Amino acid sequence: MNDNFDIGIIGGGPAGYTYALHASAQGKSVVLFEKDQIGGVCLNKGCIPTKSILHSSEVYKQTLNSENFGITAQNVTLDYSKVIERKNKTVETLRKGIELALKNAKVNVIHGEAQIQDKNTISLKPSPKIQALDANLKPNFNPLPEVEGIYYCSKIVCSTGSSPKIIKGLEFDHEFLLSSDDILNIASLPKSILIVGSGAIGVEWARIFNNFGVETTVVELAQHLLPLADTEVSKRLERIFKAEKIKFYTQTCVKEINNKKINLSNGETLEPDMVLVAVGRTPNITDKIEGVTYIGDVTGEIQLAHYAIKQAIEDIDGIKFKKELTPSVVYGTPEIAWVGKREQDLEPESYKKSLVLLSAIGKAHCDGQTDGFIKILSQNDKIVGAHIVSNEASSLIQQINVAMQNGVTVDKLKEVCFPHPTYSEGIYDALFKL
C-alpha cells in the first residue's frame, strides 16, 4: 500500500495528537501511527489514570476524617476493584473523545508499529496486540485497516514518548518490582510498599497508598525529597510526610535485594509486599534521523504533557513559548506547584523574597488545609520564580505564570483585584512583601 501525506506522525500521545489536529486545521493531509492506544502514556499510563486513583484515595481519606467537619460516616469500606474500574472508565471516555476529534478532523489513524526509513518515508508493521483490540473498538472510531505498507510524507514528526527507566539491580519483574505502568493495574492493595524515587510519580503514589492505609516508605538518593523543587518546598513536603506517617529516607539507595528483603545503603532492612521503582523515564528512541522533527518525551527534555503540547503547537503553528516557564505540578493534598527560578539558583542578595503561610489565609481555614505557603521571588520589580504548597496550587501557579510570561511588574499586579475568600489572595498579600 502506497500513500502520500503532507505530514506523517509516529506516536499518538499529547505531542502527536495535538500536532495532528492543528496540522489538519491548516488543511494538511495527516497520517498518525500508533502501535498501542491513542492518548499515549499521559492518558493511558500516566497523568490521567494516576489522578483518578489519587482522587479516589482522597475521597476515602476525607470520608474517614469527616467528623472534623461535623459529619459522621459509619461502616466506610474500600473496594479497590471499583477504584480501578472508575479509572478505566475515565481513561476510556477521554480516549474516545480524542479518537473522535481525530476522526472529525479527518486525520488518518493507523494502528501498527511504524519505522522511519528516511526523512520522508515511513514503513509499517501491523501490531498484533492492537489488531486483537480492534475487534472490540466502539463504532465511533474506525481506524484504517492495519496493513503493511510504505507511506511518503513531506514532513515526518516523531513523538514516540518514553518508558519507565530501568536501573541495575532493580529490573522490573512486574510482580514484586513494579514500574509506574505496572502499579496502575494491581488487583489489590498491598499491606506495605517501598517507593524508590521521590519525583512527581513517587510522591503522588506515596500519597495514594498512604491515603488508602498502606504502610508506605520512600527512598530518595538526593539530599531532599522532590529534588527538582525549591529546597523550601522539599523541606515542607518532608514535614507533611512526617505528619502523615509516610516514612522516608534521603541520601539513601537500595543496596541489594535478597529473597524480597531490601537492604538499604543506610543499613536498614525492609520487607515490603511490593516495590515501585519510580526513578524517571527513558526516551523511546535509538538514533535520530536528520530532517525528522522530534517532539515530546522522546526529545529527552522536559517530560511533561503540557510541554509536549506546546512543542507541537510551536512547530506547526509557529506560536513560541518560553520553555523556562514550563510549570511543574505534583498532585495530592496539598498540591505542589512551581515555575521559574528556585531560590537556591539565585545569587544571595540579588533577589527579593516573600512568603505567605496558608495559616494566614481564610479559605485555607475553611477547608481545613492550612499546612503550606505561597512563595514569590522577584528581581528588578518582576517575578522570576514562584513556589506553592497549597490546595489549588496547580491553578494558582498559572496566575503567576501569566504575569511572568508577559513581564508584568509587581507594582502593576498590585492593581489587580483578587477575590475573597480564596487561596489566590495569598498571591496578592505576597506582592506587598516584595
Distance CA 223, CA 75 (A): 42
Lowest mean pLDDT among 1-15, 98-112, 214-228: 1-15
Domains, the chain, in order of start with CATH, read: 2-163+282-317 (3.50.50.60), 166-279 (3.50.50.60), 325-431 (3.30.390.30)
Using one digit for the tens of pLDDT, what is the confidence trace for 140-154?
A: 344 444 446 899 999
| ∠ Cα 84 42 83 (to 5°) | 10
Using one digit for the tens of pLDDT, what is the confidence trace for 162-193?
A: 999 999 999 999 999 999 999 998 999 999 99
Could you tell me the sign of the dihedral formed by the alpha carbons of 32, 33, 34, 40, in that order? negative
Residue 139, SS3 per DSSP: coil
**Helices 305-317 and 14-25 sit at what angle, rounded to 10 degrees?**
30
Environment class of 256 (CB within 10 Å of its CB; exposed 0-12, middle 13-18, buried 19+): exposed
- Of the candidates 211, 35, 223, the one whose C-alpha atom is nearest the C-alpha of residue 122 is 35
Rounded to the nearest 5 percent, the helix, strand and coil shares of the chain are: 35, 25, 40
pLDDT value at position 327?
Answer: 98
3 confidence band (pLDDT: 50, 70, 90)? confident
Percent with pLDDT over 90 in the chain: 92
pLDDT value at position 424?
Answer: 97
- Where are any strands of DSSP class E within 265-317? 269-270, 274-277, 281-283, 293-294
> What are the start-end ranges of the H helices in 176-216?
200-211
List CB contacts of 286: < 8 A, sequence separation 6 or more. none
